[in-house]
Chains A and B, each alone.
Chain A
Amino acid sequence: MRIMDIELVIFMFMLTVMSLYFNFAISLYGVVAKVNLVKKLIALTILQDTINIFTVLVGYRLLRPGLTLQPPVVIDLNPTPEVIKEFVTRSVDPLPQAFVLTAVVIGLAVTLFLTTIVLHVSRHFKTVNVDEIGRLKRGYIHEEAV
């Protein structure tokens, strides 16, 4: 692999990082600005996935001449010390992957909980529009006060 190619690899990597920032910003916009609760929920899951991919990406390592990357799995089931040494030099970082695994489960739990709440809200107010829900609530409070 020539020096030029390494620069290309770094450029492509940074481009991916930038596109993830872009994704992050758009999903943040969805969570904050959208009035539909279901759209907010979808934007939140995209936000979670963006952060997860970013975390895995940070655990990657630079592909360069003479280095073939591999997942963090020992392929040889009776490894010699040389095999282990080779494995350590070639494998990507397993720690962000383990963290992401935890984050995915927690994210799923949050999504499940929010879905249940949105379902509850939509059945109660017959709408998932937050502006509309606010208006209805004000109406209820006004009625009670009267």
Chain B
Amino acid sequence: MLRDAVFTTLLIIVIIALTYLTYSGGLGDLPPQDIRLIAKNYLNLTYNRDAYWLWTASPEAVSAIVWDYRGLDTLFETAVFYGAILAALTVFRGVAKLPDTAGSAGLSLVVKRSTALVTLAILTVATSTALHGHLTPGGGFQGGAIASIAPLLLLVVFGRRFFTDNRITYGKLLTLRNISLSLLGISTLTILLYGLLINASGYIFQNQAKATSPLSYPSHILDVPLGGTIFFLNLFEFLAVTSGFTLVFTILLSSEEILSKEFEGEDHGY
């Protein structure tokens, strides 16, 4: 009881202190009258053909920052996400490849049919979000996060063995994920390697031609902006995130019997 009272008092003090600091201008004008200079630069250059050596060929400034101006940041972020999935898979490495012993028939026919339609819609929206990431708000990760709802639904509605029965195995999903991540890495190096081949200068993570490097990814396809590397990075990130999530969901939704095998062994393994 005393603990709750102390916590509540402390939290009220935190709220009042933060509010006072904000009101007295600790964060500058809120809402700001104008955006920061660096943001103005990004907005000015992202789809400005007149500054061709600094543009990204992507009308969507957020994607341009995420995959071009601050691309290395995102590469490491992808590495962190890869690590998290890897950690989850490692914990369950012994049981990950086992097919589920509890054969679940899933839910009723009506639910199955409607889920099939909804799944199609989810995948369409996800693909569109990922592939239009350089044109409209969205991107590879967001598309992947939407798409990963589909396997979750399928596992619940069609039963735990849906993927193994349809030959979508652990190995195939892991291969898809590794290939996508490898392609993601390769697409950041393509210009550099091509430059080495034809004896021209190129950079890691280069998207469009720079003042000192004439090489660039295609900026348009059939009169539609392609965003150069941004489109490919979004696509590979989408595939990697979808397959990674599917792997984790498949394992986490396995039956008790399978999962508890991982926790056998040491008496007090904490």
Residues of A within 8 A of B (CB): 9-10, 13-14, 17-18, 21-22, 24-26, 28-29, 32-33, 57-63, 71-75, 77, 79, 81, 84, 87-88, 91-95, 97-98, 101-102, 104-106, 108-110, 112-113, 115-116, 119-121, 123-125, 137, 140, 144
Note all chain B residues with C-beta closer than 8 A to A84.
44, 47-48
Per the bound structure, the CA–CA distance linking A115 and B244 in Å amounts to 16
Per the bound structure, the CA–CA distance linking A32 and B7 in Å amounts to 9
Q: Beyond A79-B48, A94-B39, A95-B42, is A13–B30 a contact (Cβ under 8 Å)?
A: yes
Note all chain B residues with C-beta closer than 8 A to A95.
36, 38-39, 42, 65
B47, A72: Cβ atoms closer than 8 Å? no
Segment among B18-26, B100-108, B160-168 that sits at the interface with chain A: B18-26
Segment among B75-83, B114-122, B185-193 that sits at the interface with chain A: B75-83
18 A–B contacts, CB within 8 A, in A order: A18-B15, A18-B19, A21-B15, A21-B22, A22-B15, A61-B31, A61-B35, A81-B50, A87-B43, A93-B35, A93-B36, A98-B65, A105-B78, A108-B81, A113-B84, A113-B87, A116-B252, A119-B259
A98, B30: Cβ atoms closer than 8 Å? no
Residue tally, chain B, CB below 8 Å to A:
67
A102, B73: Cβ atoms closer than 8 Å? yes
A-B contact count (CB 8 A): 164
Q: Does B88 contact A (CB under 8 A)?
A: yes
Chain B interface, >50% SS class: helix
B43, A25: Cβ atoms closer than 8 Å? no
Note all chain A residues with C-beta closer than 8 A to B33.
61-62
B260, A123: Cβ atoms closer than 8 Å? yes
Per the bound structure, the CA–CA distance linking A101 and B67 in Å amounts to 11
Q: Does B257 contact A (CB under 8 A)?
A: no
Q: Beyond A18-B19, A123-B263, A124-B269, is A91–B61 a contact (Cβ under 8 Å)?
A: yes
Please pick, from A63, A75, A94, A112, the residue contacting B61 in the complex, using a CB distance under 8 A: A94
User: Least Cβ distance of B28 to chain A in Å?
Assistant: 9
B11, A25: Cβ atoms closer than 8 Å? yes
Residues of B within 8 A of A (CB): 3-4, 7-8, 11-12, 14-15, 18-19, 22-23, 27, 29-36, 38-40, 42-44, 46-50, 59-62, 65-66, 70, 73-74, 77-78, 80-81, 83-85, 87-88, 91, 135-137, 139, 141, 145, 224-225, 248, 252, 259-260, 263, 268-270
User: Least Cβ distance of A73 to chain B in Å?
Assistant: 5
B32, A72: Cβ atoms closer than 8 Å? no
Please pick, from A75, A91, A98, the residue contacting B66 in the complex, using a CB distance under 8 A: A98
B80, A105: Cβ atoms closer than 8 Å? yes
Residue from B11, B27, B135, B263 having most chain A Cβ neighbours under 10 A:
B11
User: Least Cβ distance of B236 to chain A in Å?
Assistant: 15
A112, B88: Cβ atoms closer than 8 Å? yes
CB-CB nearest 9 A-B residue pairs = A109-B84, A72-B61, A74-B59, A94-B61, A98-B65, A25-B11, A93-B35, A93-B39, A74-B47
Note all chain A residues with C-beta closer than 8 A to B74.
102
Per the bound structure, the CA–CA distance linking A61 and B139 in Å amounts to 24
Please pick, from A10, A26, A112, A124, the residue contacting B84 in the complex, using a CB distance under 8 A: A112
Note all chain B residues with C-beta closer than 8 A to A21.
14-15, 18-19, 22
Nearest A residue (CB) for B90: A116
16 more contacts with CB within 8 A, not counting A18-B19, A97-B62, are A21-B15, A21-B22, A25-B14, A28-B14, A33-B4, A63-B31, A73-B137, A77-B224, A88-B40, A93-B36, A95-B38, A104-B141, A105-B77, A105-B78, A105-B80, A113-B87
